[in-house]
Structure 1
Amino acid sequence: MTRGIHRYPPMERVIYGIPLAEALAEEIARLDAKAVYVMASGTLNRTTDVVQSVRDVLGNRMAGLCDKIASHTPRIDVVKAANEARAAKADLVLTVGGGSVTDAAKMVGICLGNDISEPEQLDTLKAVITPEGKTRRPPTKAPTVRSVDVPTTLSAGEFTAMAGCTDTVRNIKESYAHPLMMPQTVILDPAVAVHTPEWLFLSTGIRAVDHAVEDLCSINPTPFSDGMSLQALRLLSSGLPAVKNDPADLDARLNCQLGAWMSIMGSQNGVTKGASHGIGHVLGGTAHVPHGYTSCVMLPHVLRFNEPVNAERQRWVAEALGKPDGSAADAVAALIAGLGLPGTLRDVGVKPDQLDEIAVNSMHDRWVHTNPRKIEGPATVRMLLDAAW
């Protein structure tokens, strides 16, 4: 008999298909926000009118703007933004951008709730992975300021209560969590995502595919996340090629956004991921590979490694991707290749002399320890890296 508990996340609303200005005006009024600190992609601010449209909606409720969050959310950038938001007496954070900006807003909330004003103070709140692979999270006070997120990519971090934040001194990306780090509202407007560079939109779409695949193939899946993950793969496997073919296809972009949302449902309920995510975190923090690309280069190889222990569930993946007669690994690899995305570590700039460090650091990531097929140590990770080389 199937047993479990489904937890509804502390997110109030997901608004989809409604233009940003209309949706944002309604949310600001509903939340009665008086001082909104905006965090936006720098490129989006410099080269489009999206941030100006946000200014027009907020008017004198706009309490400040940060458009200088680097990739992988460096903690020096996070703390600087938190100090600005504190000085502005912000009562809401609004993000417009990709995963690094989204995670930064979560970290700003944590900094404000825990009186963090220097980067080194974040050491007291980061997760620690034990040698046995258990995750220990120190007591963390709730964010005192929450967020409304307008994502422009498909990595779906805006739907989780966790954030990755990089210590650039040690070159390691670390994990932080609190249930109320999750935004109050997410606004999905495909017209805003038109400005996202093609490589970034499509590769983060593969990141969403990775979420759905590793949830389906997890050691602790749930019926709810199974259904959501299968539909996510159907939407993404049709929507991503359609966007590649016609970047102005807003219906296809919205399907991708909906697929990304559905892909993350398992994460909201404790479904554990595997080595594609675990190694991917380290490729990002240590080798500076964009997260979408980490999934492109690792997911097919992790699927092949895991097939001996979860072949039946991998067949579900292949079917949802429209390849019922093939393997899940081949179906994912074909989707990646068809989008013109990189397929090897060489393609994404990883150097041979980084592989051992990546292998060792990967053993400190929680998802490597919950991979369906046990990973005994750095040598096994190195084997997967060599396969992806």
Structure 2
Amino acid sequence: MHSGRVVFGAMDEVVFGRPAAEAVVAQMDRLGKTRAFLMVSGTLNRATDAIEKIRHALGSRCVATFDAMPAHTPREAVIAATEQARAAGADLIVTVGGGSITDGAKAVQLCLANNVRSVDGIDPLRTVKGTVPAMTAPSVRQISVPTTIAGGEFSAAAGVTNARTKVKEMLRHQLTIPRAVILDPAITMHTPEWLFLSTGIRAVDHCVEGLCSRETHPYADAQAMKGLSMLAQALPRVKANPGDLDARMNCQIGTWLSMGALSAGVPMGASHGIGYVLGAVYDVPHGYTSCVMLPAVMRWNKQANADRQALVTEAMGEPGRDAADVLDAFIRGLGLPRSLQDVRIGPEHFGRIAEAAMKTPWVPRNPRKIDSPAQVREILLLAA
């Protein structure tokens, strides 16, 4: 018998297929907000007119723009953005960009609410061993226009990197999830191909690790199956024709569905856990971590969950085949890295990665039990 709990997060709306500038203004009107703080991609702000269109549509309701959030959301940049939002008297944060910016805004919400003004001031907000500390709820919320498809905008959790310890730490509060997400495929046209496609594999990873979890349930499975099916069909279409807006939209909706398992309480596994370490310690891009780790994790897990892995190949249109092989070929077909060597991680790093991965929230909940760093090393060797 299944047992579980599905928590519907504090997101009001997902708007898809409308131009971002028009949809942002409509959300400001709906929420009765007058002072928008834009946290945006530096490249989009400096090299395209996408952000200017949003600023123009908002007019005097745009009070400031922050465009200096590096990958993996370092604490220093979170504090810089918080100070700017505080000085501007923002009553809403609008993000336009990838996962690091989305996560950055979640952290800024908490820093504003809890009067955090220094890098060390973030310490009391960290989720430690799954325990969320008591904190003041954010009152300045966010809406998000994602330009990549890793799916973080559908979660209340933010990964923020501590530069001193080289650890990606979790900040979480039920109200940090964006109040609205705006899916505009046109704005993703500016996203570099490698980034769009690799974050798409991150979304695939959400679906796959959700389906393969020991703790899944039918509600999560339904979303993961449909999301994986949409991503498996649409990502190669975007690769073949970058101007295919329908395919981009399907990738965005597939990504939205990919977050269903996580938001319904189903944990991720070793691909996500090891990925956290590769990102925080070795600066491997978020999507690339899934490209190099997911097939290896599937291979290592197969003895424990072959029945669940069969659902993965079914959703990807390749029933009866080996899931690791199907994922390997799929990722290669998109021209993305497939080994740790491809992202410049050699065996000399495996000991440190294995030790750190054991401390992540996901490795202990991998479907095939991982009791020690030695087993993480086995997976790393498969991905070498």
TM-score range, shorter chain: over 0.9
Instruction: State the shift of 1:24 in Å.
Output: 1.5
What does 1:110-259 correspond to in 2, within 5 Å? 110-129=110-129, 135-259=130-254
Q: What is the CA–CA distance in structure 2 between the aligned matches of 1:352 and 1:103, rounded to whole Å?
A: 31
Question: What is the CA–CA distance in structure 2 between the aligned matches of 1:354 and 1:63, rounded to whole Å?
Answer: 45
Q: Output aligned runs, 1:194-343, within 5 Å.
A: 194-343=189-338
Deviation at 1:136, TM superposition (A): 2.6
Aligned-pair CA distance for 1:240:
0.2
Distance in 2 of aligned mates of 1:141 and 1:223: 35
Corresponding residue of 1:132: none
Aligned-partner Cα distance in 2 for 1:322–1:163: 33
Unaligned runs of 5+ in 2: none
Distance 1:309 1:365 in 2: 21
Q: Does 1:53 align with 2:56?
A: no
Could you tell me how far 1:5 is from its partner in structure 2?
A: 3.0
Deviation at 1:267, TM superposition (A): 1.2
> Would you say 1:85 and 2:80 are equivalent positions?
no
Q: Paired residue for 1:385, among 367, 380, 383?
A: 380
- What is the letter of the counterpart of residue 145 of structure 2? V
Per-residue CA deviation, residues 126-163 of structure 1 (Å, 9 max, x unaligned), is 1223xxxxx23322221121101000001000000000
Letter in 2 for 1:170: T
Report the AA paired with residue 286 of structure 1. Answer: V
Code of the residue aligned with 1:375 in structure 2: it is I
* Aligned partner letter, 1:55: R
Aligned partners of 1:182 and 1:137: how far apart in 2? 15
Q: Deviations over 1:189-214 (max 9, x none)?
A: 00000100000000000000000000
Partners of 1:270 and 1:88 lie apart in 2 by 36
Contact (CA 8 Å) 2:39, 2:93: kept in 1 or not? yes
Offset at 1:87?
Answer: 1.1
Q: Which residue in 2 is equivalent to 1:42?
A: 42
Q: How many percent identity over aligned positions?
A: 49
- Contact 1:156 1:208 (8 Å CA) reproduced: yes
Give CA deviations for 1:268-307 in whole Å, capped at 9, x if unaligned.
1211110000000111001110110000000001111111
TM-score, scaled to structure 2: 0.98
- SS of structure 2 residue aligned to 1:201: helix
How big is the shift at 1:21?
2.0
**Mean CA deviation greater in 374-383 or 257-266:** 374-383
SS at match of 1:180: coil
Q: Which amino acid aligns with 1:80?
A: A
1:5 and 2:9 equivalent? no
Q: Is the 8 A contact 1:189 1:254 kept in 2?
A: yes
SS at match of 2:7: coil
Give the counterpart letter for 2:24 in structure 1: L
In 2: Cα distance, 1:53 partner to 1:243 partner: 25
User: Hey, what's the Cα distance between the residues in 2 that align with 1:81 and 1:179?
Assistant: 21
How many angstroms apart in 1 are the aligned matches of 2:346 and 2:286?
17
CA distance in 2, matches of 1:279, 1:219: 18
Say if 1:78 and 1:349 are closer, same or farther in 2 by CA, change over 3 A.
Answer: same
Aligned residues: 384
- Give the SS at the match of 1:69: coil
**How far is 1:43 from its partner?**
0.7
Matches within 5 A, 1:353-368: 353-368=348-363
Bigger mean CA deviation after superposition, 17-26 or 293-302: 17-26
Q: Report deviation, 1:242.
A: 0.1
Mapped contact 1:287–1:354 kept (Cα < 8 A): no
Deviation at 1:351, TM superposition (A): 3.9
Q: Where in structure 2 are the equivalents of 1:368-379 lying within 5 Å? A: 368-379=363-374
Worse overlay, 344-353 or 285-294: 344-353
1:352 positional shift: 3.6
Q: Which moved more, 1:116-125 or 1:236-245?
A: 116-125
- The 2-side partners of 1:222 and 1:64 are apart by 44
The equivalent of 2:33 in structure 1 is 33
Unaligned 5+ segments in structure 1 are: 130-134
Structure 2 residue matching 1:272: 3-state secondary structure: coil
Structure 1 position 3, deviation (Å): 3.3
Aligned to 2:106: 106
The residue that corresponds to 1:347 in the other structure is 342
User: Does structure 2 retain, via aligned residues, the 8 Å contact 1:161–1:178?
Assistant: yes
SS at match of 1:176: strand
Query: In the TM superposition, what is the alpha-carbon distance from 1:349 to its structure 2 partner?
Result: 2.1
Describe the superposition over 1:157-188 as per-residue Cα deviations: whole angstroms up to 9, x where unpaired: 00000000001112111111001010000000
Following superposition, the deviation at residue 331 of structure 1 comes to: 1.1
Aligned 8 A contact 1:147 1:183 in 2: yes
Offset from partner CA, 1:312-338 (integer Å, 9 cap, x none): 110000111111121111111111010
